Structure 1
């Protein structure tokens, strides 16, 4: 195959990998009832007038599956951290014992689990759409090369390769979704 087609295939695979990576990141934000520091990823604390990520003002640890503890680097930040968690509206009620903030992660209700599973399906569908758009762009580029004089056989085999990549990545998305749904629905 020509260099142009190799480049198209490489960039297509790279873009598809990016879609998978994005999906995995989105799945991390969907909590499954198990405590994780990633649950607090979107919390920003007012630290001397600037919005600072929670992870930069405290040590976040998970002593067990239902508890998150936050140990501020500065004691005077306890109130600000507690306030930031409440303002973030992520469904947690922080408890301040004077040294650390303890967050108990409540178990998920069946209805909430279904909602989270729907959210996961939606994210997976968005990733599939992204993969299909990458495929469309790659096929468009291949057709341009065909018009510019690249052999029809080479272009057809390149289109088949793009389709194989698409099928592989769609299958990966389905596997990731199945795993996430199982994690969410596990009581």
Structure 2
């Protein structure tokens, strides 16, 4: 069993969480807001950044220019159905997405989305822990001593606890950023 591999996989869950939370901007428009959006195009789910150019010409406006006219409808649908609550104005292959001023209700919606992202990261970390414990059980059957297995199991649990604590700290910081007026 390799603890470094488990640590790398848990850090991957944190990296994904940071990327998703970066899309939850509070004060102004950012091209990173659209990064979590996946578009159903060409028979698969693709990141919106692989189908369009995203720019921010004004603090409260995002412009998306789709490269292929055939994917424009799918891109618009993905933006509308995202958990970001954005409503694009379509002008051919160019979408103008006004970013609404955040009121208290909208901030709470963003907090809920942030909690959803954090829970997905926690679940991912727990899956990594389960894989590690299953590997230990297999190693124990293959001749590893119970004491060694127990020590490694405790290390896996400590690694899991530390990673989940880091996820909680990241969530708390993002929640404070979102609710700050």
TM beyond 0.5: yes
> 1:91 matched to which residue of 2?
86
- The CA distance in 2 between the partners of 1:110 and 1:139, in whole Å, is 43
The one of 125, 134, 149 aligned to 1:131? 125
> 1:49 matched to which residue of 2?
none
Compute the TM-score of the two structures, normalised by the length of structure 1: 0.69
**Which has the higher mean CA deviation after the structures are superposed, 58-67 or 115-124?**
58-67
Q: Number of matched residues?
A: 172
- The CA distance in 2 between the partners of 1:186 and 1:164, in whole Å, is 33
- 2:111–2:178 CA contact under 8 A, matched in 1: yes
Following superposition, the deviation at residue 53 of structure 1 comes to 7.2
- 2:60–2:99 CA contact under 8 A, matched in 1: yes
Following superposition, the deviation at residue 59 of structure 1 comes to 5.1
Q: Which runs of 5+ in 2 are unaligned?
A: none
Map 1:151-170 onto structure 2 (within 5 A).
151-170=145-164
The one of 146, 166, 176 aligned to 2:170? 176
Following superposition, the deviation at residue 110 of structure 1 comes to 0.8
Q: Report the CA distance shift for 1:36/1:43 in structure 2 as closer, same or farther (over 3 A).
A: farther
What are the superposed Cα offsets for residues 133-185 of structure 1, whole Å, 9 maximum, x if unpaired?
21122112112212221122322221121112101110110111012111211
> 1:19 matched to which residue of 2?
13
Q: Which runs of 5+ in 1 are unaligned?
A: 47-51
- 2:118–2:171 CA contact under 8 A, matched in 1: yes
Asked which structure has the greater CA Rg, the reply is: 1
- The CA distance in 2 between the partners of 1:102 and 1:141, in whole Å, is 50
- The CA distance in 1 between the partners of 2:104 and 2:134, in whole Å, is 45
Following superposition, the deviation at residue 60 of structure 1 comes to 3.5
> 1:140 matched to which residue of 2?
134
- The CA distance in 1 between the partners of 2:145 and 2:10, in whole Å, is 26
Following superposition, the deviation at residue 92 of structure 1 comes to 3.8
